[in-house]
Structure 1
Amino acid sequence: MIRAVPAAELAPTTHAFPVRARGLRVRAGRHLAVDGLDLDAAVGVHGLLGPNGAGKTTLMRALATVTRPAGGQLEVLGHRVHERGTDLRELRRALGYLPQHFGFYPRFTVREFVEYMAWLKEVPRREVAGAAQRAVERAGIADRADTRLKTLSGGMLRRAGIAQAIVNDPAVLLLDEPTVGLDPEQRLGFRDLLRDLGTGCCVLVSTHLVEDVAAACTDVVLADAGRVVWQGTPTELAAAGGTGDAGDSAAERGYSALLRRARQGVAA
């Protein structure tokens, strides 16, 4: 007897919060860089701001399953990353990750590199070429697809890194300082790409560029000393500052004000 399969069983699994952390602790070497961090991240674009040493890169590495948590709880797409023995292979197929410094084979062309990363992420073989072409087009580097990586400028190389991060149409996309080396025109294009990606994906972008967050993100996460000290919208960020706060824009003044209040123990 053939059983009719309900549509609910065929639909992809969804999560109210693709990323959830409670009391998360993560080490960077011997240093506890993330210490008691709580975070909920839904579908949309989340801008992760904070000073150097705030634990942003270490958090991104933990979310990407590169670094195991030292304590607390971390769930990504329902997978408990904090539990040893968890099989992370299925999760990694659904992730996209661009680290601050990513490795590559210099003699690869952009296309070869992105196709290779698609293969590593277990994209079906018959879909690899098409997925790579779509990724380089979305990253704005299609005209350099057959150029060797070693000949690219820093900005173009960064765009190749973005292409490999999105080649598998990830459910969670992690971008650590993605606009380093991009010129102003390229950054504007990147903002458009973020807005597009955030309609169906949970995107976390770690950056020092407050204006990029204000322009492209639906949510802002401010971290300091290994913890989230504030979370809200770009509008709320801009409204948090005053004329006496450091910064050349409302968003930068809000960032300075919120960071100062957090360090003083004052509620935002």
Structure 2
Amino acid sequence: MRAVSAVETTATTHPWAIHAEGLQVRAGRHLAVNGLDLALGTGVHGLLGPNGAGKTTLMRALATVVAPAGGRLALLGHPVDGRAELRPVRRDLGYLPQHFGYYPRFTVREFVGYMAWLKEMPTSALPEAVQRAIDRVGLTARADARLKTLSGGMLRRAGIAQAIVNDPRLLLLDEPTVGLDPEQRLDFRELLRDLGTDSCVLVSTHLVEDVAAACTDVVLVNEGRLVWRGTPEVLAAQGDASHAGDSPAERGYSALLRQHRAEAAR
């Protein structure tokens, strides 16, 4: 049932942005990612899976927030383990957690600028980079508003701005469209497609339609393992009217999960 994505068949002259072999990552005492093999390059990749599938734990490991418990992981050509120097990776990394912290009294501009400084961007480049990131997420008019005055959707956009301010080669977005209205989601999909032209973007979401509309391929995980990988078009072809979902992509997602669970129960 595994489909081969366009990313896997495209020639590349640089290392995979994400290369995991037998990756294991713990969430507390639980092995939330268990033996994951994954290689991702330039493009927009959608990460799907049910609650408890290990998506957020995987994203935290890829963001170097937690160290792998086993296996091998390399990001942008750099090995990631308990002994590795992570600063070169973090300079080229952008990360939006599912729940991100911020200073309520900071303005949007101050917050994005502070995060750019933490990423060790050159001081001379900060004003232009900060303004560009704010403009790209549609917060130009609120750039000097304090974060505590923003709506949930605006806060999420500020979080996206800090993730992209350094033009990262590897961008990790965990549930980025939470709180965005339909028009903002459409704008975000366009932004994703633009970002994916020269970066590796991994988007974890429960919104299958966002993946179908903006991603070059889909990664489906369950119980910490890779279940399926393929293009959105192939994903949509996996289901039919007997499967749960309001769209072909959602029905394909449901069909693949049902098949995986049936195989696991044998």
TM range (shorter): over 0.9
Q: Does residue 1:27 correspond to 2:36, yes or no?
A: no
Q: Deviations over 1:45-90 (max 9, x none)?
A: 0000000000000000000000000000111001111x32110011
Q: Distance in 2 between matches of 1:15 and 1:139?
A: 29
Could you tell me which runs of 5 or more consecutive residues in structure 1 were left unpaired when the two chains were aligned. 1-13
Structure 1 stretches of at least 4 aligned residues deviating more than 6 Å after TM superposition:
none
CA drift at 1:243: 1.3
2:137 to 136, 139, 145: 139
| Counterpart position of 2:158 | 160
Please give the alpha-carbon distance, in whole angstroms, between the structure 1 residues aligned to 2:132 and 2:226.
Answer: 35
Q: Secondary structure at the match of 2:220?
A: strand
Matched, 1:77 2:72: no
Q: TM-score, normalised by structure 2?
A: 0.93
Contact 2:49 2:220 (C-alpha < 8 Å) held by counterparts: yes
Q: Which residue of 1 aligns with 2:3?
A: none
% of aligned pairs identical? 73
| Alpha-carbon distance, 1:16 to partner | 4.0
How far 1:143 sits from its partner (Å)? 1.1
Q: Normalising by the residue count of structure 1, what TM-score does the alignment of the two structures yield?
A: 0.93
The one of 212, 220, 227 aligned to 2:218: 220
Counterpart position of 1:107: 105
Q: Which amino acid aligns with 1:182?
A: L
Amino acid at match of 2:27: A
Say what the alpha-carbon RMSD is for the aligned residues: 1.2
Instruction: Give 1:208's aligned amino acid.
Output: H
Between the aligned partners of 2:141 and 2:224, the Cα distance in structure 1 is 41
For residues 225-261 of structure 1, the C-alpha deviation after alignment (integer angstroms, 9 at most, x for no partner) is 0011000000000001011111110000000001111
In structure 2, give the amino acid aligned to 1:140: G
Does the Cα contact within 8 Å between 2:15 and 2:77 map onto a contact in 1?
Answer: no
Partner Cα distance (1:217, 1:55) in 2: 20
1:1-268 map, 5 Å: 15-81=14-80, 83-265=81-263
Radius of gyration: which is bigger?
1
Secondary structure of 2:155 counterpart:
helix
- The number of residue pairs the alignment matches comes to 253
> 1:7 aligns to what?
none
| Higher RCO (C-alpha 8 Å, min separation 6) | 2
What corresponds to 1:3 in structure 2?
Answer: none
CA distance in 1, matches of 2:19, 2:238: 26
The answer (yes or no) to whether the contact 2:26–2:33 under 8 Å persists in 1 is yes
Q: Please, which runs of 5 or more residues in structure 2 have no aligned partner? A: 1-12
Whole-Å Cα distance in 1 between the matches of residues 23 and 52 of structure 2?
Answer: 16
